[in-house]
Amino acid sequence: MAPTIKVGDTVPDGTFTYIPYSPELDSHAACGVPTKLTVSKDWKGKKVVLFAVPGAFTPTCHVNHLPPYVQKYDEFKAKGVDVIAVVAANDAFVMSGWGRFEGLKDKILTLSDPNVEWSKKLGLDLDLSALAFGTRTARYALIIDDLVVKYVEVEPGTEVTVSGAEAVLAHL
């Protein structure tokens, strides 16, 4: 899969939904209230590391993709990263639940890309209908600095390599 977005391009505007962390969410009886994140407004002037997974709680995403970002959080911050976010096609409640299960609190944003609208603009949607998953986000990573793409890589297979924490850190 070759993305249509390239290094040097300005990311398209778009809106993600997410549930911001609050201490109330530490109770598993709380669900939180979804809010919107607008790319052009909320990421202007910021250095953002965004990685995408086909699905929350799915084996590779849950075991191999997200945890290294959590473990290396301080290294990302030391390199001037303002925002670390994971995005998937799952709804905001599922993404929030995954983040709570993983203990993310406010370290990594768990963003929902409703109907894969934003990822499609990048050419990074993935048809997983054969697995009964429908259309999902591809497994990819971006470094965005003041809305300009500095790094974009898409996984060529099912492993986590070019979109993993180590690879992204090496390009900061």
Taking only the tens place, the pLDDT of each residue in 6-51 is 999 999 999 999 999 999 998 878 889 999 999 999 999 999 999 9
Average confidence (pLDDT) over 66-92: 95
> What's the pLDDT score for residue 66?
86
How many angstroms separate the CA atoms of 167 and 63, rounded?
17
How many angstroms separate the CA atoms of 148 and 161, rounded?
23
pTM of the model: 0.90
Confidence of residue 162 (pLDDT cuts 50, 70, 90): confident
- Determine the residue type at 147: L
Q: Structural domain boundaries of the chain?
A: 15-170
For residue 65, give both structure tokens: 């993709």
Percent with pLDDT over 70 in the chain:
88
How many angstroms separate the CA atoms of 69 and 115, rounded?
25
Whether residue 150 is predicted with pLDDT greater than 90 in this model: the reply is yes
For residue 79, give both structure tokens: 């390199």
CA end-to-end span of the chain: 24
Fold of 15-170: Glutaredoxin (3.40.30)
Beta-strand pair 109-112/83-88: parallel
> What's the pLDDT score for residue 1?
58
* DSSP code per residue over 29-90: T-----EEEEHHHHSTT-EEEEEE-S-TT-HHIIIIIHHHHHHTHHHHHHTT--EEEEEESS
For residue 26, give both structure tokens: 């530490």
Residue 68 CA to its chain's centroid (Å): 13
Task: Give the torsion sign (CA, 59, 65, 29, 31).
Answer: negative
Is the distance from CB of 58 to CB of 132 less than 8 angstroms? Answer: no
Number of C-alpha atoms within 13 angstroms, CB side, residue 153?
19
Catalytic residues: 61
β-sheet bridge partners, residue 140: 52, 154
